Amino acid sequence: MKNLLFAALTAILLQPAFSSSSNPPSEAPIPLPAVPQPAPPIGPAADEPQWTKWFNPATAPFIPVPLIATDPNSGVTIGLIPTLVSTDENHDIRRIVAPDVLYNPNFGFGVHGRIFAYSSADAQWSAVAGIKERVEREFDGEYEIGRSRAGPWSVIYSLIYDRNGSARFYGVGNQSRRRAQTNFINQQDLGQVQLGFNLNHTWQILYTAHEKVVDVLPGTLNGIASIQTRFHSVLGTHKQMLNRLSVVYDSRDDSTVPSSGMKWVVYGGLAAEQGLFNDSSYSEAGIDGRGFWPVAPDIVLAAHLSLRYLPTAKHVPFWALSSLGGGQVEIGGEQPLRGFGDGRFYDRNSFATTLELRRKVFAFDAVTTKLDIELAPFVDFGRVFSRSNTNPLFHVHPVVGVGFRGIARPFVVGYVDIGYGSDGPAVFTGLNYPF
């Protein structure tokens, strides 16, 4: 999903007409006698070939959106997304249909099919399926109901199959070296249910259950050592069953594009390969918080904090450890550090924090909907550590950067985030805010 860069947002920009209500004339126009005018031609002009209608937003059956996606691990992907955007009478996006044809130097040509459906403020669903010439393929389906917490229950169902050929492993520890980089194929099957009991609009008790099967396979990328050449013991298949209980406090004014309020999640869980309470079992405990404060018109200060511990962990596969890297928050999982690729640092425990200043710089008032453009300078700090008595604020990895976001309210956010850390610059593109 995250490589659908500006599929909806660019589509909105390419609509054929814009509102001109913002600069009204200072004087009323003098009425003139009506002069009959010939009806404008529909479609391409007579002297234009018929195929040009496919590239005219006014006549095309879809909008051809360029695809340019990038991240430090998989590199640059280019392609074309023929995008269909459906809106309601209020000009809110209700459905995006966006297949693509793409090319990545590492994995060859590929295709995807995507549907994002925003049925209401309370229910959403999405489905993404794709395959490339070499190694990579994916399916990601999700259905969510009770987003507004107006009723007693909220549920999210997720079903994921992902075969990722660009995954990296540098070893375990906060000082793992860039020169130790290895590549592996990360193949995952995941089924997950999140069931929330809403005490009221603000407080929720959330139960998460998932079963995950992960295959760590030898890498295929040219110029990067395969994982078994340096970390031969990590190859293999592992099955994880997780049960997690969370207490959630959420006072945000909006779950997709928040401008005020806070969300705090305190959680604990147990996981194992076969049953519980054996050598493969481990426990987790953590806290995840984010806050949003409007400091001036069109300016929001956004902050995120995460702290995760594995109090009991014996024989845990490295991918189940706490980790840092990439551009998105996963509660109880990887935390963002936008100067590094996904999975850059692994260890038992982790700390991460982020500050962003999100400022709307201008807006397009299009026929279909309104598109806001944001500029967001940010700083990320984070570290991993093995001992629970370690001060998490020491020896953090700093990242500075700037984000560019396009927002089609109420459901769609596209981003380009550029960060710089000790490994150099990194660029991430995709959908949704990092937190």
The CATH number of the domain holding residue 313 is 2.40.160.50
Q: For residue range 369-425, what is the model confidence (pLDDT) as tens digits?
A: 678 999 999 999 999 999 999 999 999 999 999 999 999 877 789 899 999 999 999
How confident is residue 162, by pLDDT bands cut at 50, 70 and 90?
A: very high
At residue 426, does pLDDT exceed 60? yes
Q: Is residue 43 in a domain?
A: no
The mean pLDDT value for 237-264 works out to 95
Residue type, position 236, single letter: G
pLDDT at 236 exceeding the cut of 70: yes
Residue 59 near residue 15, CB atoms below 8 Å: no
Domain count of the fold of the chain: 1
For residue 135, being part of any structural domain is answered with yes
What percentage of residues in the chain have a pLDDT greater than 70? Answer: 83
* Assigned domain for 278 exists: yes
Whether 225 has a pLDDT exceeding 50, the answer reads yes
Residue 216 pLDDT: 97
Q: Exposure of 35 by Cβ count < 10 A (0-12 exposed, 13-18 middle, 19+ buried)?
A: exposed
Burial of 177 (0-12, 13-18, 19+ CB in 10 A): exposed
Cβ–Cβ < 8 Å for 128, 431: no
Place of tokens 């929330």: 196
45 assigned to some structural domain: no
**121 lies in a domain?**
yes
Is residue 35 a part of any domain in this protein? no
Considering the domain boundaries, does residue 39 fall inside one? Answer: no
DSSP-based helix, strand, coil % in the chain, nearest 5: 5, 55, 40
- The residue range of the domain holding 145 is 7-15+50-431
pLDDT at 20: 33
Q: How far apart are CA 343 and CA 350, in angstroms?
A: 12
List pLDDT tens digits, range 195-217: 999 999 999 999 999 999 999 99
In-domain check, residue 244: yes
Q: What is the pLDDT of residues 83-139, one digit of tens each?
A: 888 888 877 888 989 899 999 999 999 999 999 999 888 999 999 999 999 999 999
